[in-house]
Structure 1
Amino acid sequence: MSSAADPSPRAHGVGGTTEELRRSNLARILGLVHRRGELSRAELTRLTGLNRSTIGNITSELRDLGLVTESMPESGVSSRAGRPSPIVAASGDVAAIAVNPEVDAIHVGLVTLGGRVSRRVRIETSAAPSSADVVELARAAIAGLLALQPTPLRIVGVGLAVPGLVRTADGQVRSADHLGWVDEPLTEMMAEATGYRTVAANAAQLGMRAESVFGAGRGVDDLVYLIGGASGIGGGVVTGGQLLTGAEGYAAEFGHTFVASDGVACTCGSTGCFEAEVTQGALLDSVGLGASEVDALAGRLRESTDPAVLDLVRRDRELVRIALRNAVNLFNPAMVIVGGFLAALYADDAIADLAADSIAASRESLAVAPALLGPDQLMVGAAELVFSELLLDPAAILGV
């Protein structure tokens, strides 16, 4: 492989190949430290196949751009003989703002490079917020979070994790049934209110993105993801390492999988939909918890001996199995990840049996696991959407 420091014909070809290679190497190294955590220059050399001199030049440039930090390992940490190799880590001063509106609250957080949620706030609402409510409350929360920072952050942009259908082309929210939204220009409104570049996508797909990069799905090329929240049930599919989006970005609406022939009406206008039959609100009510106490739901459900609670859990589990059977039979994933309140229905040892009704051959090597990132999933996923452009071409987004 040629590098910017290698005197090869490719490196000196026409059309700015040297510059293209430099930008590609910057993206490659930044992506590694962002997704894998801190790495020594020696490890980066081994992982990329680039020579030590090239790695040194790239990490120095990324450091000068303020995207990574370099430090010497603590005494005694390195087992290698000779001069210790500097440790490269994603900068904690570069951050994205994540916003996730739900029917009962708006979640706002700061997420730094490396997928770390540094601060977050939940703003409870008495009713489903309008798009204008979301923009105004988020704008105020962002100002408050940034004011608490001991040192200024370089904000790359705002990522919106929306519980609804978001058009890929322009971030228009086509519909968010639980919020009562139709054709809301939320992305444009947020950008105008905050002054930051703003991008948006379906919340569940962003949760899956976070789990794929930093969580249970890391390194898995064929994946189905299901998540339940206050605004319903969503999900996503990765097949052959590529996110399944559909023509406009609306694919994998698992919340509207048909699971009950005698089911109740859904906000989409149909009946028997997964998210109409299995709800976070009903489970919270069954064990006497409020909307803000969802983190305690799994423990309460496990401890309960109330026959009504046990019946509800039993029925919900059966409907989850129906939805999952359809997903596994359709997509033949290597892994299924279950997050949000859906994971609260299962103890870790029981969740593995979720796909027992699927085609035998499709589940022979299937792993079923709870999401690892917990409540951070949507924050991290929204930030990944923001960081994607920076990671693709660090120099370009910073204008150098």
Structure 2
Amino acid sequence: MSEAAARSDGVRRANLSRVLRLVHIDGPQSRAALTEATGLNRSTVAALVGELVEEGLVEERAPDSLGRVGRPSPVVAPDGRVVAIAVNPEVDATTIAAVGLDRRVIARDRIETDGPPSPEETAQLVSAQIAAWREGPLRAARIEGIGLAVPGLVRTADGLVRLAPHLGWVDAPLRDLVAAATGLRTVVGNDASLGALAEHLFGAARGVDDVIYLNGGASGIGGGLIVHGTPVGGAGGYAGEFGHNRPGIATGTDRRASDGVLEDEVSRSRLLAAVGLDSADEPTLAAALTAAASPPVIDEVARQRRILVTALANAVNVLNPSVVVLGGFLATIAADAIPALLDDVRAQTMPSVADALELRLAVLAEDRLLIGAAELAFADLLRAPSPT
């Protein structure tokens, strides 16, 4: 291939990626809208869409012509039959979902376990679930890959889980184990970082360039950062471990763990104990806390809020975000107190740092980590949708 031909092919591939990413992130759009968004001419967009249709990545639909003048432009939508398998192993259950390129959660299952699964058990759970779904909801699907959202330190270079303390994993080659068990391309990331990505692309932080995301799960509290519109992973991919910071606790009676870190004090397990549950998914815990009217439950929620506020103030002082997003059980305890919590955060930050700060709840709810894991699995496809 000549240098000029190689350049032309590179431009074509980049434009294919632009078009596919637009309909994936922003949803179905007319060819006319894609022409305006890309700045390309109509014939070029038509050719690109045609190639993506041939690749089975998008589909064209008849537009709604009601009330329109002239010939309406066809609507281009991501093909929902292209799917990623998203996995979130936790201490009490492993959640597995099939997420379409159109962002629909096609299937999901929460497999409860007596204790944390081993990496090998996780790989087998994923393999068995995919095999079952291939005979059912994924019979006609094209599985692009598997993304795992793990509550721990994940080395981004090779998907090695360096440490997931609540799962008991140390230097677990999770990517390789799952890939071997399923025969599918596999990628691994930190759960909270993937939650941040999902909320930034599709949820509460959409369109916001500077974001702190805190995720409260069964394994503790993790976080993700978006700075100037770009996810920040740190040198090894381990950035965002807010749960291991030590916030100041102003009132000694609020402390529950001697020399404990944030996730020892602001804890899902303490909330479960307060409402008398051994295990629960997010909606069940939220409903139990809402229904509880006893002073011990009310006091525990208030205690956790006070400590969370100080942790948030520390993070805001350092990073000066526009928005802080809370997910998981953190969203549950903050849901009916956002204005008061924001006032308390501002009271503990430097003047002006939090003047324009917004505190928001994750809007993707219990799907946020799964959608983030699916984005990780879709990343190569979105970057290079045409085969070499």
Q: Please indicate the TM-score interval, normalised by the length of the shorter structure.
A: over 0.9
Question: How high is the TM-score relative to the length of structure 2?
Answer: 0.94
Q: Does 1:27 align with 2:30?
A: no
2:140 aligned partner: 152
Q: Hey, what's the Cα distance between the residues in 2 that align with 1:188 and 1:82?
A: 54
Q: Is the 8 A contact 2:63 2:75 kept in 1?
A: yes
- Could you tell which deviates more after superposition, 374-383 or 286-295? 286-295
Q: Is the 8 A contact 1:39 1:88 kept in 2?
A: yes
1:66 aligned partner: 56
Q: 1:48 aligns with which of 38, 43, 51?
A: 38
Summarize the alignment of residues 164-179 of structure 1 with structure 2, pairs less than 5 Å apart: 164-179=152-167
Q: Is the 8 A contact 1:111 1:380 kept in 2?
A: yes
Q: Is the 8 A contact 1:352 1:368 kept in 2?
A: no
Summarize the alignment of residues 319-334 of structure 1 with structure 2, pairs less than 5 Å apart: 319-334=307-322
Q: Hey, what's the Cα distance between the residues in 2 that align with 1:358 and 1:147?
A: 55
SS at match of 2:222: strand
Q: Does 1:138 align with 2:126?
A: yes
SS at match of 2:236: coil
1:69-110 alpha-carbon deviations (Å, 9 max, x no partner) = 00111341xx44211110000001101111110000111110
Report percent identity of matched pairs.
49
1:198-252 alpha-carbon deviations (Å, 9 max, x no partner) = 0001011011111111111111110000010111110111111121111101111
SS at match of 1:179: coil
1:57 aligned partner: 47
1:258-277 alpha-carbon deviations (Å, 9 max, x no partner) = 025675669xxxx3211111
2:365 aligned partner: 374
RMSD between superposed Cα atoms in Å? 1.8
Q: Hey, what's the Cα distance between the residues in 1 that align with 2:89 and 2:114?
A: 13
SS at match of 1:14: helix
- Could you tell which deviates more after superposition, 133-142 or 221-230? 133-142
Q: 1:129 aligns with which of 109, 117, 122?
A: 117
Q: Which residues of structure 1 form unaligned runs of 5+?
A: 1-11
2:379 aligned partner: 388
Q: Is the 8 A contact 1:217 1:337 kept in 2?
A: yes
Q: Does 1:234 align with 2:222?
A: yes
SS at match of 2:216: strand
2:176 aligned partner: 188
Summarize the alignment of residues 1-400 of structure 1 with structure 2, pairs less than 5 Å apart: 14=4, 16-76=6-66, 79-149=67-137, 151-259=139-247, 271-348=259-336, 350=338, 353-354=341-342, 355-356=345-346, 357-395=348-386, 399-400=387-388
TM-aligned CA distance change 1:205 to 1:352, over 3 Å: farther
1:169-196 alpha-carbon deviations (Å, 9 max, x no partner) = 1010000000111101011000000000
Q: Which residues of structure 2 form unaligned runs of 5+?
A: none
Instruction: Figure out how many residues of one structure are paired with residues of the other and give that number.
Output: 380
Which amino acid counterpart does residue 52 of structure 2 have in structure 1?
A: L
SS at match of 1:394: coil
TM-aligned CA distance change 1:131 to 1:34, over 3 Å: same
TM-aligned CA distance change 1:352 to 1:366, over 3 Å: farther
SS at match of 2:280: helix
